[in-house]
């Protein structure tokens, strides 16, 4: 039997974000191929890793991303349905935090592989070494976005794998706590998707 909360479109929209993950990794590779290294490999690698991992890890551990956002728009907490607030509660489970910590370890291995292959990424001669810092900054931002588009779909997958019985007993997240406990990206509006939601009840 398909769980009832699988009908929530925001879950599938953000799960589909995993498609952007390899695109951002490709940009990391191309950025690192801009010029020959200026700094020791461990230092360049650490710089990219810090830019790409720390902000997303902090967000997922302290203020998880509120999936009821698309691009520059976000649903106001007070218009979320009971089911949607239950979904938010699932993002606060200890299991989600474990995943948030484990994921960067995997991504570090991916980054090191990319860093090692970067000199072979282009056939044309690299730009002047003065452009290396620009390449590192672009690589850091691209790695951050690749982390974002991997972490969020992974956490959504964890929610989708929740059993219907567990979801039924989950308490809806208190409306008044959502702004403080979740990262809300975008301008807050009352509706985004042309889908009629069930009315909410007082928390």
Q: What are the angstrom distances between the C-alpha of 45 and each of 48, 109, 116, 144, 176?
A: 5, 11, 10, 13, 41
**Token digits for 18?**
């995993």
Q: Check residue 136 and give its pLDDT.
A: 92
Structural contact between residues 45 and 150, judged by C-beta atoms closer than 8 angstroms: no
Whether 63 and 183 have beta carbons less than 8 Å apart is answered as yes
Question: How many Cβ atoms are within 10 Å of 81's Cβ, its own excluded?
Answer: 17
pLDDT at 201: 43
Q: What is the largest CA-CA distance in the chain?
A: 64
pLDDT at 121: 67
The predicted pLDDT at position 203 comes to 43
Q: How far apart are CA 122 and CA 101, in angstroms?
A: 33
pLDDT given for residue 131 in this prediction? 81
pLDDT at 74: 93
Whether pTM > 0.75 for this model: the answer is yes
Residue holding tokens 């997922």?
Answer: 60
User: Which residues of the chain are under the pLDDT cut of 50?
Assistant: 196-203
Nearest to 55 by CA among 140, 132, 178: 140
């Amino acid at each position: 039997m398909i769980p009832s909360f699988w009908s929530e479109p925001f879950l599938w929209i953000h799960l589909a974000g995993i498609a952007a993950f390899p695109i951002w990794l490709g940009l990391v590779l191309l950025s690192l191929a801009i010029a020959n290294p200026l700094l020791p490999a461990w230092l360049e690698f650490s710089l990219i890793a810090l830019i790409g991992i720390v902000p997303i890890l902090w967000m997922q551990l302290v203020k998880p991303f509120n999936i009821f956002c698309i691009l520059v728009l976000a649903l106001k907490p007070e218009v979320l349905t009971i089911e949607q607030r239950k979904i938010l509660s699932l993002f606060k489970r200890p299991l989600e935090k474990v995943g948030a910590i484990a994921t960067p370890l995997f991504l570090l291995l991916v980054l090191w592989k990319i860093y090692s292959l970067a000199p072979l990424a282009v056939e044309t001669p690299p730009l002047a070494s003065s452009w290396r810092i620009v390449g590192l900054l672009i690589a850091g931002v691209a790695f951050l976005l690749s982390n974002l588009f991997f972490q969020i779909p992974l956490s959504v997958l964890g929610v989708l794998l929740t059993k219907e019985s567990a979801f039924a007993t989950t308490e809806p997240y208190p409306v008044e706590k959502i702004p403080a406990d979740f990262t809300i990206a975008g301008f807050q509006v009352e509706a985004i998707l042309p889908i009629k939601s069930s009315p909410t009840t007082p928390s």
